[in-house]
């Protein structure tokens, strides 16, 4: 199959490089210098410094060229740009081509999940989400990893699984699209909380409590929206949460850690080449929580920090204040 990946950040480039070893793959990049570097030097030093890419991978800045021959379209752009890029690409995408989202976030305003945006802009195209504990640099280093492909059509899932699986990168199928996408979006917010704990030096006991309570929050919201609890206890929920909260490679954890050390958010974000989705997602998940009547105290505290209404230390005092809720375990 001809695979096209839209988005040349670390995760999009990683998936394109993996796919290129088994299928003709084209990577779409916004910057001409990135496209030229990927095609001629087989590197992407801006987002994956030090890692060689598949020599079969090609890149282009021409969105029409990227999409016209695709048998599988993979979208790896930030949630804030997801609709605009897909809308521009839509006229060039052939009928019935499946669209796989790698984006873990929600659309501002509509609160739609990314597969819902796909279904709205490309009706008739199978929509899927690939999610899980997938740190791009570890995968590029050849370390084993597993991911979950969520889509409603079992036939499409099996076909995409064969395309996306690669040696040490194992892909599992799941029909619970809601659970997989909710888990992927909320874990970024909880990772900021875990990073703040690291920056404040509050200890592993507190971090473990925040991560565990965070799992309870994403499960509460997911189940209220129609997800299955076991999905949030698996790779797309707990697995992704642990990796994102604990790894120094995690962008969202890194943002939280720097906040905990006293830096201000605009300066942190200005230094980053990539998007920390949890920053924008915190407020959006609270809108979803209000819609579904669910309490998300950790997400609420992180939203206060992101908006500048509370310091990281004040947020943590709120998180560890005595409460009356049951043990989430």
275 is in an annotated binding site: yes
CA 282 to chain centre: 14
Give the SS3 label for residue 26. Answer: strand
According to the annotation, is 47 in a ligand binding site? yes
Specify burial of residue 222 (Cβ count, 10 A radius: 0-12, 13-18, 19+): buried
Residue 136 annotated as binding site = yes
**Residue 10 is assigned to a ligand binding site:** yes
Q: According to the annotation, is 137 in a ligand binding site?
A: no
Tell me which residue of 291, 20, 243, 257 sits closest to 147, measured CA to CA.
Answer: 243
Q: Which of 83, 187, 207, 300 is catalytic?
A: 187
133: left (phi over 0), alpha (psi -120 to 50) or beta: beta
291 known member of a binding site = no
- Report residue 140 CA to chain centroid gap: 17
Between CA 210 and CA 54 the distance in angstroms is 39
The residues, ordered by sequence, that sit 6+ positions from 176 with a Cβ below 8 Å of its Cβ are 150, 227, 228, 231
Residue 220 labelled as part of a binding site: no
3-state SS string for 130-162: EECCCCHHHHHCCCCEEEEEECCCHHHHHHHHH
Q: Considering only CA atoms, which of 279, 103, 104 is closest in space to residue 268?
A: 279
Q: 40 with 79: CB under 8 angstroms?
A: no
| The residue to which tokens 């609420």 are assigned | 300
Nearest CA to 9 among 275, 324, 286? Answer: 275
Residue 270 marked as a ligand binder: no
Is 187 marked within a binding site? yes
263 is in an annotated binding site: no
Three-state DSSP string of 155-219:
HHHHHHHHHHCECCEEEEEECCHHHHHHHHHHHHHHHHHHHHHHHHCCCHHHHHHHHHHHHHHHH
- Mark whether 152 is an active-site residue: no
30 marked ligand binding residue:
yes
| Residue positions forming the annotated binding site | 10-11, 30-31, 47, 104, 132, 136, 187, 240, 250-252, 275, 277
Annotated binding site for NADPH: 10-11, 30-31, 47, 104, 136, 251, 275, 277
* Active site residue ranges: 187
- Residue numbers in the known binding site for sn-glycerol 3-phosphate are 104, 132, 187, 240, 250-252
């Amino acid at each position: 199959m001809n695979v096209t990946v839209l988005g040349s950040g670390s995760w999009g480039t990683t998936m394109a490089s993996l796919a290129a070893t088994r299928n003709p793959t084209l990577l779409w990049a916004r910057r001409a210098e990135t496209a030229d570097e990927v095609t001629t030097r087989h590197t992407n030093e801006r987002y994956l410094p030090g890692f060689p890419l598949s020599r079969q991978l090609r890149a282009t800045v021409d969105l029409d060229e990227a999409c016209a021959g695709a048998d599988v379209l993979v979208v790896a752009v930030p949630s804030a740009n997801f609709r605009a890029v897909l809308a521009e690409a839509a006229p060039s995408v052939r009928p019935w081509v499946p669209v796989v989202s790698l984006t873990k976030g929600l659309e501002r305003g509509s609160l739609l999940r990314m597969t819902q945006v796909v279904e709205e802009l490309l009706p008739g195209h199978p929509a899927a989400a690939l999610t899980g504990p997938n740190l791009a640099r570890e995968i590029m280093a050849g370390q084993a990893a597993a991911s979950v492909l969520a889509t409603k059509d079992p036939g499409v899932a099996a076909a995409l699984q064969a395309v996306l699986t690669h040696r040490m990168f194992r892909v599992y199928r799941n029909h619970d699209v809601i659970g997989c996408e909710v888990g992927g979006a909320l874990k970024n917010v909880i990772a900021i909380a875990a990073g703040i704990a690291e920056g404040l030096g509050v200890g592993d006991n507190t971090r473990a409590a925040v991560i565990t309570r965070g799992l309870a929050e994403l499960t509460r919201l997911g189940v209220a929206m129609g997800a299955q609890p076991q999905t949030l206890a698996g790779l797309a929920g707990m697995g992704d949460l642990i990796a994102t909260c604990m790894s120094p490679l995690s962008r969202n954890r890194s943002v939280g850690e720097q906040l905990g050390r006293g830096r201000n958010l605009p300066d942190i974000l200005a230094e980053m080449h990539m998007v920390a989705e949890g920053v924008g997602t915190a407020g959006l998940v609270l809108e979803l929580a209000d819609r579904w009547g669910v309490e998300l105290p950790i997400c609420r505290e992180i939203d206060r920090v992101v908006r500048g209404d509370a310091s990281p230390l004040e947020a943590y005092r709120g998180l560890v204040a005595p409460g009356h809720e049951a043990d989430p375990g």
